Amino acid sequence: MLALGGNSPPAATTLSFTSAISSNKELTASVATSNSSFRLSTVASAVPMVKKTSSGVNFIRPHLRTLAPYTPIEPFEILSARLGRAPHEIIKLDANENPYGPPPEVMEALGKMQFPNIYPDPESRRLRAALAEDSGLGAEHILVGCGADELIDLIMRCTLEQSDVVLDCPPTFTMYAFDTAVNGAELVKVPRKKDFSLDMPAVLAAIEKHKPKIIFLTSPNNPDGSLIKEEELLEILNQDLLVVLDEAYIEFAGEPSRMTWVKEYENLIVLRTFSKRAGLAGIRVGYGAFPSSIIEYLWRAKQPYNVSVAAEVAACAALGNKDYLEDVKNKLITERDRMYKLLLDVPFLSPYPSHANFILCSVTDPSKSAKQLKADLAKEGVMVRYYEKEDFRNFIRISVGKPEHTDAFFKALAKVAQK
């Protein structure tokens, strides 16, 4: 629901967003009606009256008026209030966060943070130097953002005209489709095969037919954890389009990042993040590797202070303790493999092998629905993600946590399975 008007609006000033966006006229009429009742009941309002009422929606860019809002995952505080459980009683396995959190040096560095009163370095020089050392790629190829999410949007803002096409291979990370819509470009979907590998003949045919400007490839892919095959990546890189390779989960894959490839391929961008590997999802730091010919324009278009002082301090401190990052990664991989084996024994679930910090399962018993399963598990304090789209139906995705989280998940699953 979209609330129009600031101070506790009467019922008449609340509009259903979906019905409002279906017709401008309808919206204007409703606003006019609600404003007249508002006038009658709030004579003493300090807000000066305007003679003519027109809807604020008219100021919104037309392509955004029909945009479906992104449904984010709820944070601990909100969940805690909704489920009536303290945050530490909630097992949060729905957003692929890292339950170990960052190395202890991060909290220490944040506590000692100097100059939070001064704007941050617009070039994030200290962090980019640390990332250069970490990745083996020169800092001049690296740009940092407020999460990889910001960089996805920034890339689109720098490259897409309204008539341009973005190629998406669902099921995959939904921000590519969301940001394409926000940027007013056209999305062409080439669904993955049943095993979630790319449908290469269809991808190549779509490139030929739609001449997309960008393709997003995710390896490991979210939500199933599969890797892109090297020969397929090379074949797509040989086409005339920009390839954005999203490596948000590459640390869990047992294969190296392809960040350094951007020196060879003028049409490749590689995205990474501190959210998963370093347990910094809440701090918001992501980074990307770019060819020199592209990065220059992102520098020009990005918000100058997109990476906060706190984010840079935290990310640098995290990179300063590689042993911790390595240890946590190994723990999560071990736990993923244990969880996978346990899932194989659940009669109504079929897990997919994963190279990331989550496992996708198809709900194979037709009498059970993924949505219901998610709701039942939530009542037990265990949060997982479910998928119920027309072309991707009856799946749940479980993030890998600590061993005790896995145990709590299976305990809750056994309980709800009896329903």
Ligand X SMILES: Cc1ncc(COP(=O)(O)O)c(C=O)c1O
Contact, 107 vs 409, CB < 8 A?
no
418 three-state secondary structure: coil
> Where does this chain touch ligand X (CB under 6 A) — which range of 60-68, 142-150, 345-353, 384-392?
142-150
- 222 is a contact residue toward ligand X (CB under 6 A): yes
Residue 8 per-residue DSSP state: S
- 394 is a contact residue toward ligand X (CB under 6 A): no
> Where does this chain touch ligand X (CB under 6 A) — which range of 25-33, 146-154, 184-192, 252-260?
146-154
Contact, 1 vs 14, CB < 8 A?
yes
Nearer to ligand X, 21 or 175 (CB): 175
**Token representation of residue 97:** 């966060």
Q: Which residue has the tokens 């998610």?
A: 374
Distance, CA of 353 to CA of 350 (rounded, Å):
10
- 275 is a contact residue toward ligand X (CB under 6 A): yes
- As measured in angstroms, the least distance from the Cβ of 94 to ligand X is 11
Nearer to ligand X, 250 or 412 (CB): 250
Q: How far is CA 5 from the centre of its chain?
A: 31
Nearer to ligand X, 212 or 286 (CB): 286
User: What is the chain's Cα-based Rg?
Assistant: 24
- 281 is a contact residue toward ligand X (CB under 6 A): yes
- 273 is a contact residue toward ligand X (CB under 6 A): yes
Q: How far is CA 315 from the centre of its chain?
A: 19
Region 181-220 residues binding ligand X, contact defined as CB under 6 A? 218
Element (H, E) at 312: helix 309-319
Contact, 319 vs 311, CB < 8 A?
no
Picking from 223, 220, 228, the residue whose alpha carbon sits closest to that of residue 93 is 223
Residue nearest to ligand X as judged by C-beta position: 147
- As measured in angstroms, the least distance from the Cβ of 360 to ligand X is 12
What is the residue type of 228?
I
Among 99, 147, 212, 279, binds ligand X (CB under 6 A): 147
**Token representation of residue 319:** 């990179």
**Token representation of residue 233:** 């990546």
- 246 is a contact residue toward ligand X (CB under 6 A): yes
- As measured in angstroms, the least distance from the Cβ of 248 to ligand X is 4
> Where does this chain touch ligand X (CB under 6 A) — which range of 7-15, 126-134, 147-155, 251-259?
147-155
- As measured in angstroms, the least distance from the Cβ of 156 to ligand X is 14
Q: Which residues bind ligand X (CB under 6 A)?
A: 96, 147-149, 173, 218, 222, 246, 248, 273, 275, 281, 286
